[in-house]
Amino acid sequence: MAEQSVRLFSLGSSIDGEPSFIEPASFKALEAQELKDIERWIKREPDVLGEEILILASQFSNWDKTSDRPDLLGLDRRGKLVVVEIKRDSSGKDQDLQAIRYASFVSTLSSDDVIQLHREHRRKEHGEDLTLSESRELLDSFIETGDIGVLDDDDQPRMILVSSGFRPGVTSTVLWLRSFSLDVACVQIQPYELRGEIVLTSTTLIPLPEAGDFEVKMQSKRQKSASQQVTPVDKNDAESFIASIPAGRWASYGDVAKAAGSPKAAQAIGNWLRNEETDVALVYRVLHGTGEVSKHWKASDPKLPPTAAAVRTKLIGEGVFFEGPKASQDQRWRTEDWLASLEREAAA
């Protein structure tokens, strides 16, 4: 038998009893299936994964040129997508590679895609007929930031591998990937038969909960080191780009980051603009990549629109066309537009 991470012992009916090892069962012997049973259990009680996960979809396939389908797709409290790949009694040799492939597919999903998937899942699994707005409100209320729009600036989903046993090749790959700040976890689910009942144990093998603080510190150190090697944000270029956005146009945080010389710094740009709003007059023309105004927009400068609704009204007044909550992508002011305008000015 493979080494077990969890061992159960019975003391009988008295604390004075002697420990007696309880042999684990196997899903195969219990005739439990990955899709029919294990996936169903997790959908009904996601805490089996060791944390609060909101399930968004199961066995969905809408990718071009492939019918591959992740077992489960979830959302964690931080607003990160979570790919859950399930194997029964053994991880096999490719569970890690499958999860990576699925994570690459999922990384392209926008917040709108996720809202639609969640809505379809609630209708299929719970018989609820939610509107897109209601689905969005549920997702917003679940994540800590309160805005599902954060997904549009995040292209690195998490992965959770679930099995009752993991091959050394899989766990070594997971540990190696984690050294590059890829969030991959291994959760062991083991069945037992006790007094006529089937009991499940759920154990997070990687990362060890007790080592969580250590990992966070190490990742922070690596990220700090890496950030010193990345082109820093040029705030002067960022301000010049924002100042160049014409009336009737809008730009995304990612567009500003690209103009500032650091395309991956969209989130940092958002944080900076929130702190420097009084010095960036046209900051209200910077939206999420989907064209939506941040629902948490709140301006302290009386010269700026005070609320998200007021931002939308002002942009419409300037000539920006909105379809529902989204500004037209045809009116997006990109880095290329800015550079072309600088060339025209230089040639004039």
Q: Strand 8-10 relative to strand 197-206: parallel, antiparallel, unpaired?
A: unpaired
Secondary structure letter of residue 324 according to DSSP: T
Q: Where are the alpha helices (DSSP H) in the chain?
A: 39-44, 95-106, 111-126, 132-142, 168-178, 212-227, 235-244, 253-259, 266-275, 308-317, 335-347
Q: Any idea of the CA torsion for 12, 14, 16, 19, to the nearest 10 degrees? A: 20
Distance CA 1, CA 23 (A): 10
What residues have CB less than 8 Å from 238, skipping those under 6 apart?
256, 257, 259, 260, 269, 272
Percent share of the chain, pLDDT over 70: 89
Q: What is the pLDDT of residue 229?
A: 47
Q: For residue 220, is pLDDT > 80? A: no
Q: For residue 214, is pLDDT > 70? A: no
Q: Count the Cβ atoms, other than its own, within 10 Å of residue 252.
A: 25
Q: For residue 1, is pLDDT > 50? A: no
Mean pLDDT of the chain: 85
3-class state of residue 119 by DSSP: helix
Distance CA 198, CA 169 (A): 30
Distance CA 298, CA 314 (A): 14
Between 74 and 346, the higher pLDDT residue: 74
Q: For residue 19, is pLDDT > 90? A: yes
Give pLDDT tens digits for 261-303: 887 777 778 777 777 655 788 999 999 888 888 877 878 788 8
Q: For residue 235, is pLDDT > 90? A: no
Q: For residue 150, is pLDDT > 60? A: yes
Q: What is the pLDDT of residue 327?
A: 92
Q: Any idea of the CA torsion for 142, 116, 61, 110, to the nearest 10 degrees? A: -70
Q: Count the Cβ atoms, other than its own, within 10 Å of residue 340.
A: 11
Q: What is the pLDDT of residue 48?
A: 93
Residues 139-143, mean pLDDT to the nearest whole number:
88
- Confidence class of residue 227 from pLDDT cuts 50, 70 and 90? very low
Counting other chains too, the contacts that 275-278 makes at CB distance below 8 Å and 24 or more residues apart are: 277/301, 277/304
- Confidence class of residue 129 from pLDDT cuts 50, 70 and 90? very high
Distance CA 330, CA 348 (A): 26
Between 295 and 328, the higher pLDDT residue: 328
Q: Distances from the Cα of 295 to the Cαs of 143, 301, 312, in angstroms?
A: 14, 17, 11
- Confidence class of residue 316 from pLDDT cuts 50, 70 and 90? very high
- Confidence class of residue 243 from pLDDT cuts 50, 70 and 90? very high
Domains by residue range for the chain, with CATH: 8-211 (3.40.1350.10), 235-338 (1.10.10.10)
Percent share of the chain, pLDDT over 90: 47
Q: What is the pLDDT of residue 103?
A: 93
Q: Any idea of the CA torsion for 168, 174, 178, 182, to the nearest 10 degrees? A: 170
Q: Is 59 exposed, middle or buried (0-12, 13-18, 19+ CB in 10 A)?
A: exposed
Q: For residue 346, is pLDDT > 90? A: no
Distance CA 141, CA 137 (A): 6
Q: Where are the alpha helices (DSSP H) in 263-326?
A: 266-275, 308-317
Distance CA 336, CA 215 (A): 40
What residues have CB less than 8 Å from 304, skipping those under 6 apart?
277, 283, 284
Helix, strand, coil in percent for the chain, rounding step 5: 45, 20, 40
Q: What is the pLDDT of residue 64?
A: 58
- Confidence class of residue 226 from pLDDT cuts 50, 70 and 90? very low
Q: What is the pLDDT of residue 228?
A: 46
Give pLDDT tens digits for 44-78: 999 999 999 999 999 887 665 666 788 999 999 88
Q: Distances from the Cα of 247 to the Cαs of 176, 220, 237, 251, in angstroms?
A: 49, 40, 19, 11
Q: What is the pLDDT of residue 65?
A: 61
Q: Is 177 exposed, middle or buried (0-12, 13-18, 19+ CB in 10 A)?
A: middle
3-class state of residue 332 by DSSP: strand
73 forms beta bridges with 57, 83
The tokens for 235 are 């705030």
Q: For residue 314, is pLDDT > 90? A: yes
